[in-house]
Structure 1
Amino acid sequence: MADLPTLRLMQGLAQRITATHPELVNSDASFGELAWNWGRTRGEGESRLWFSDGELVAWGRAELPRRVRRTDGSVKDITGAYLAYQVHPGHAELVDEVIAWFEATAPGVSRTVLPAAADTFGLRRWAAHGYEPDAPDAWSQLNERELADVAEPSLPAGFSFRTAAEVSPEAVVQAHVDAWAPTSYSLSSYLGVRQAPGYRGDLHVLVEAPDGTMACSAIMWLDEVNATVEFEPVGTHPGFRRLGLARAMLRHGMRLAAAAGARHATVACMGEPEPARELYYGVGFRAFSRDAPLIKAN
C-alpha cells in the first residue's frame, strides 16, 4: 500500500518526466491520475519503489484480484492483476526489475499493464517477458491544449457553475455516482481524494441543474511545477447529457485553471471513437499520446 509520502515521491517523478519526456507518462502515472487513484482507493495494492542516489527513479503498484462492492448493490470479482508503473527514461533498464517484481507479486493469474506507446524500449522488454497486445479497444488517449484564448462558457438557462468548496461532500459524491454508476466510489473515497496532494476544492467544478441536481462534474489537478492542469475524472448525469453542460464546464474549468497559473491542460479518454473524444476535440484538445495495453495470460 502506498502511503502519502510515497505518493508525493511518485508525483515528483511524474513531474520530472513530464518536464522532459511527456510522451512517456502513461495514463496511470501522471501527477493528477496518481492523486485521483490514490485518493479513491487510499493507496490499496502492493507497491515497490526503486531509488538512485536517494532519488526515486521507478515505481510499481500492483492491483491484485479482489471483490468490489458497488453503489447499486452489485459485486464485481476482479480475477486478474493490473500494474501501474513508471520508470525514468534515464534508468530504463529498471523495467526488467519492475516486470520481475510484478510477476512475483501476482503469480498464477492473468496480468495486464498499460505502458506508453512511445516507450519503444519498454515495449520490447515487456514483449521479451511474454506480454502481448490486449483487446484493441482497451487503450486510452491523452489529449492536450494550451490555455490561451479559451472561449467563454455558456450554460442553458437555469443551470449554474459550482465548485466542491461551495456544496456538500454528499452532493459532490452523488454527482460522480450518477455519472459513473455502477461504481465503488463513496463518501470515504471522496474524503481520500481531498487528502491527495494537488486536490483543490476551488478547482473541482460542477454544474447545478435548476432542480438542484449536480448534473456534471470534473476535478482539475494543477501541477504547478509544469504549469499544467489535468481533468480527471469528467462525468455527466445521464439525464442531463447532450445539453452542452460538459462543454461549458470544461471551458469554465480551463479559465479557472489559467487564473490559478496553468498554461496547459490535458484530459484522457478511451482511444476508440466515442462521444468523450469528440467532446474534448470540440473544446480545443488534440491527441498527444496513447497507451499500449498488454496482457500475459496464465
Structure 2
Amino acid sequence: MSARLRDFHWERDFESVRGFLAGVFGTRKAYTNWIPSELENIKFGPGGTEYLDAEDEFLKVWEVFNETQKTAQGIIAVSYTKPPGKCWLSVHPHYMSAAREIVLWMQNRVKEMQGDGRGDVNMSFVADDNDAEFIRVLSDLGFQKGEVEGDIQIRSSDSLVPAYSLPEGYTIRNAVIEKDFVKYREVQMAVFSHIVSMNKELLELYSTASFYREDLDIVAVGPDSRFAAFCTARIDPLSKIAELEPVGTHPDHRRLGLAKAVICESLKRLEKYKPSIVVILGAAPTEGARRLYESVGFVNEGTRHYWIRTV
C-alpha cells in the first residue's frame, strides 16, 4: 500500500471529503483537522471573493493505493495549499506516518506557486497545541511555532442555555439576508474590516450552503433599527458539529450584554437541530472573550498556533 494524491473537484469530491473529515473528527478530536463546515466555508463563506473553479487546485485528496490491484482504497488525508503559503492538512490518525511525505509535497508546491525569482515565502500551518504527533512532524521539518491563531472553545450539546436579558429598546431576531443585506454588512464590517468584499451575491450564495440555517443567523437590533450584534450558528448536516461563526458586537453597542444575548439565542435555537457538539475555533484569546464564552457554557480546551517555515 502507498499514498497517492489526486486532484479535487468540488462537484465530484465535496461529499466524500466532508465524510472523511467527519469520520476523522469522530475518531480523534484534534482541532488541527478541519471540521466539515470549515471546508464548505472555502466556497460559501461571504467574507472573501467569489470562489472560482480554478481554486479546486489548492485542495488535494490523498488516498491509500493498492499497487497490486491498482485501485484506491480510501481517503487518508486532505491537503490545502493556497498562495502565498497558507496551508492546512487533515490526516486520518491511522495514517499519520504519511504526514511527513505530504508536508514535503506541500512545501514543494508552495515553491512552485511562487514561481522563479520571487524570493522566499513563509509557509504556515495551523496546529492544535494538543496535536503532539503533527507538531513533531512539523518541528522535525524545520517549522517554528509562531503566534496564536486562537482558542478552542468547546460546549457540550447537553449543557443548559443560560438566561439572558436585553437593554431597553433592543430586540433579537434572525436576519433575512434578502432584505437585511445593508444592515447585515454594516455591522459585520464594523467588527471585521477584512470582509470589505462582502456583497449581496456572496451572501445569497452563503445562504445556500448546507451548514446555513436562516433561523440560526441571529442579530440584535438597536433602538435605531440598525444591527448592533450578531452570532451565526452553522451546523454540518452530516457530523452535526455546530460552530458559532462569526460572532461580534458593533463598537457603539459594546458592554451592554449583547454578545451574550445573541450567543444564548443561537444556542437555544440550535437545540432543535441536535448538534453533536458546539465549537468556536480560532476564538479570540483574550480574557474578555474567555470570560464571555465561559459564562455561556463553553470550556477552553487550549489554543491553536501557527507553525511557520520560510521556503
TM-score by length of structure 1 reads 0.84
Tell whether the 8 Å contact from 2:175 to 2:217 is kept in structure 1 after alignment: yes
Tell whether the 8 Å contact from 1:25 to 1:86 is kept in structure 2 after alignment: no
Letter in 1 for 2:75: L
The 5 Å alignment of 1:181-220 reads 181-187=193-199, 188-220=201-233
- Structure 1: how far apart are the matches of 2:226 and 2:74? 46
Deviations 1:25-80 (A, max 9, x none): 32x71223223333234274712111234533211112213xxxxxxxxxxxxxxx
Aligned-pair CA distance for 1:4: 4.9
Give the 3 Å change call, closer, same or farther, for CA 251–263 of structure 1 in structure 2.
farther
Tell whether the 8 Å contact from 1:229 to 1:266 is kept in structure 2 after alignment: yes
Question: 3-state DSSP class of the match of 2:195?
Answer: coil
Q: Which shifted more, 167-176 or 287-296?
A: 167-176
Q: Which of 144, 163, 173 in structure 2 is aligned with 1:162? A: 173
Q: Which residue of 2 aligns with 1:244?
A: 257
Q: Which of 98, 105, 108 in structure 2 is aligned with 1:104? A: 108
Letter in 2 for 1:150: V
Q: Which of 95, 99, 115 in structure 2 is aligned with 1:95? A: 99
Runs of 4+ more than 6 Å apart: none
Q: Which residue of 1 aligns with 2:292?
A: 279
Letter in 2 for 1:31: P
Give the 3 Å change call, closer, same or farther, for CA 105–205 of structure 1 in structure 2.
same
Give the 3 Å change call, closer, same or farther, for CA 183–274 of structure 1 in structure 2.
farther
Residue identity (%): 21
Give the 3 Å change call, closer, same or farther, for CA 59–180 of structure 1 in structure 2.
same
TM-score by length of structure 2 reads 0.80
Aligned-pair CA distance for 1:265: 1.5
**Residue 37 of structure 2 corresponds to residue 32 of structure 1:** yes
Larger Rg: 2
- Structure 1: how far apart are the matches of 2:11 and 2:183? 26
- Structure 2: how far apart are the matches of 1:281 and 1:182? 27
Aligned residue pairs total 279
Give the 3 Å change call, closer, same or farther, for CA 272–220 of structure 1 in structure 2.
closer
Letter in 1 for 2:25: T
Tell whether the 8 Å contact from 1:82 to 1:113 is kept in structure 2 after alignment: yes
What residue ranges of structure 2 are gaps of 5+ in the alignment?
1-7, 65-71, 112-119
Q: Which shifted more, 199-208 or 44-53?
A: 44-53
Q: Which of 123, 132, 146 in structure 2 is aligned with 1:134? A: 146
Give the 3 Å change call, closer, same or farther, for CA 48–228 of structure 1 in structure 2.
closer
